[in-house]
């Protein structure tokens, strides 16, 4: 998939004249990828139409209509978090507070979730860890009363970022939305943030829209981007709330929180791999002593079968490899389909067995013509696999080599500079 998208875009950028057909071909490839990433059909269709309009209007002024989010240090503002139960609100509230605290804000957390048992304890624990003042009650069952009390208290204490964590339900229920409406009315939030789990997929549009209808959602945060889901639903949430994604959650810990950046998000969505994230992750995947060597080889543009073999080895050593795998260019969508890790691991092992029957010359060559019929047959015999299996492995190699060839010309950090990657 990633390969075909890159190819489509490549073809398009190589074309001297971008005609209707070139554009359509490219858009069709992208559409396919988006649909497979849980982006809503209607949205993809709208996007297609919009892109065509934009391409036709060549004098279109690039106008940004994204609303500025107005919060000012030193001036009390109230931020209310909404979303279904389990979406990550409480965790994200603390991350958001912690993030701003480090930037000099004075945040505070208010627990208006009286629905879930233990909600206050969870917020209290998080807040204590981050040294952020908090407010809540074990006795009071009225979320409106608690949130008003909390907001008033922290305004008096000169907190400038008062964060109200609300309850969720497993489902979208009338009672939940009524509660959200009441809390919002009482606390008059400057910003309402809709929190969504990256894996909700197609349900994102309806869910986000339902919240937007009861409270004035102004921003979206997508959580659990460290998992398999590509977060295509986020685009639906953006469309439903007409609000930007501002942060993403990338883990359970307080500092696993990033300002949303559209480029890696879209390339991950399209299956092209997240290059910047990949560069961060390479340190975890590749043993320290092999890193400079690997990067050197890649920067020379030589993705040999031996490099593929070594990468497979590294990946298998890591055990449950979901997170890093999804970051590796080319390794995610085709080689490691979602939910089929066991099979994929078996496949990788099979590839490695066949590569064990290869000569050094074959492993170290980056000349695709070297692998002729007699060599393929010898490898098949040597590894006890079929010619077809060997061909499949070589196809996989070609696919990865093509993707990884983009690493060519990469700036290589000197030894000891790895952390600055």
Binding site for ligand GDP (CB under 6 A): 83, 85-91, 168, 223-224, 226, 249-252
Site string for Mg ion, 32-71 (x = CB under 5 A): ----------------------------------------
Q: Give the shortest CB-243-to-Mg ion separation in angstroms.
A: 21
Decide if residue 223 touches Mg ion (CB under 5 A).
Answer: no
201 vs 249, beta carbon nearer ligand GDP: 249
Q: Give the shortest CB-123-to-Mg ion separation in angstroms.
A: 7
- Total binding residues toward Mg ion, as defined by CB under 5 A: 2
Can you tell me which of 90, 241, 250, 326 binds Mg ion, judged by CB under 5 A? 90
Residue nearest to Mg ion (CB): 90
> DSSP per residue over 199-213, as a string?
GGGGGHHHHHHHHHH
Beta strands 191-197 and 257-259: pairing type?
unpaired
How far apart are the C-alpha atoms of 167 and 144, rounded to whole Å? 11
Number of other CB atoms surrounding residue 249 within 10 Å: 24
Decide if residue 94 touches Mg ion (CB under 5 A).
Answer: no
88 vs 277, beta carbon nearer ligand GDP: 88
Which option in ligand GDP, Mg ion, none does residue 251 bind, with CB closer than 5 to 8 A by kind?
ligand GDP
168 vs 330, beta carbon nearer Mg ion: 168
How far apart are the C-alpha atoms of 276 and 282, rounded to whole Å? 10
Q: Give the shortest CB-232-to-ligand GDP separation in angstroms.
A: 16
Decide if residue 198 touches Mg ion (CB under 5 A).
Answer: no
310 contacts: CB under 8 Å, gap ≥ 6: 290, 294
Tell me how far the alpha carbon of residue 95 is from its chain's centroid. 17
Q: Give the shortest CB-131-to-ligand GDP separation in angstroms.
A: 19
Number of other CB atoms surrounding residue 14 within 10 Å: 8
What the block records as the tokens of 396 is: 């996989």
* In 143-288, alpha helices (H): 143-156, 174-187, 204-214, 233-241, 262-269, 275-285
Contact residues for Mg ion, defined by CB under 5 A: 89-90
């Amino acid at each position: 998939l990633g390969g075909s998208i890159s190819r489509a875009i490549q073809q398009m950028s190589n074309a001297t004249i971008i005609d209707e057909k070139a554009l359509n071909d490219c858009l069709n490839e992208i559409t396919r990828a988006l649909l497979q990433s849980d982006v809503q059909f209607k949205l993809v269709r709208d996007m297609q139409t919009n892109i065509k309009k934009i391409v036709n209007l060549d004098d279109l002024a690039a106008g940004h209509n994204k609303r500025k989010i107005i919060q000012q240090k030193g001036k009390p503002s109230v931020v209310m978090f909404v979303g279904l139960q389990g979406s990550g609100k409480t965790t994200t509230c603390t991350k958001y507070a912690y993030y701003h605290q480090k930037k000099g804000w004075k945040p505070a957390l208010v627990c208006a979730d009286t629905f879930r048992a233990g909600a206050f304890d969870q917020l209290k624990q998080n807040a204590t860890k981050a040294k952020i003042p908090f407010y809540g009650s074990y006795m009071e069952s009225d979320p409106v009363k608690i949130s008003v009390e909390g907001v008033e208290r922290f305004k008096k204490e000169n907190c400038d970022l008062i964060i109200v964590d609300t309850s969720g339900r497993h489902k979208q229920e009338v009672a939940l939305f009524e509660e959200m409406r009441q809390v919002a009315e009482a606390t008059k939030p400057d910003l309402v943030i809709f929190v969504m789990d990256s894996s909700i997929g197609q349900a994102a549009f309806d869910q986000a829209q339902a919240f937007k209808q009861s409270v004035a959602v102004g921003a979206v945060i997508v959580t659990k981007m460290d998992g398999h889901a590509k977060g295509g639903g986020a685009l639906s949430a953006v469309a439903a709330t007409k609000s930007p994604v501002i942060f993403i959650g990338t883990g359970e810990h307080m500092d696993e929180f990033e300002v949303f950046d559209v480029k890696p998000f879209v390339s991950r969505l399209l299956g092209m791999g997240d290059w910047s994230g990949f560069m961060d992750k390479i340190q975890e995947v590749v043993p320290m002593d092999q890193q400079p060597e690997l990067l050197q080889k890649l920067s020379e543009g030589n993705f040999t079968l031996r490099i593929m073999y070594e990468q497979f080895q590294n990946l298998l050593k890591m055990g449950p490899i979901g997170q890093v795998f999804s970051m590796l260019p080319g390794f995610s969508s085709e080689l490691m389909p979602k939910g089929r890790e066991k099979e994929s691991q078996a496949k990788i092992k099979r590839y490695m067995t066949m590569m064990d029957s290869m000569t050094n010359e074959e492993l170290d060559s980056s000349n695709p013509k070297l692998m002729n019929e007699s060599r393929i047959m010898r490898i098949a015999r040597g590894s006890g696999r079929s010619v077809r299996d060997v061909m499949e492995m070589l196809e996989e190699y070609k696919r990865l080599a093509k993707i990884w060839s983009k690493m060519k010309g990469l700036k290589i950090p000197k030894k000891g500079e790895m952390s600055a990657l």
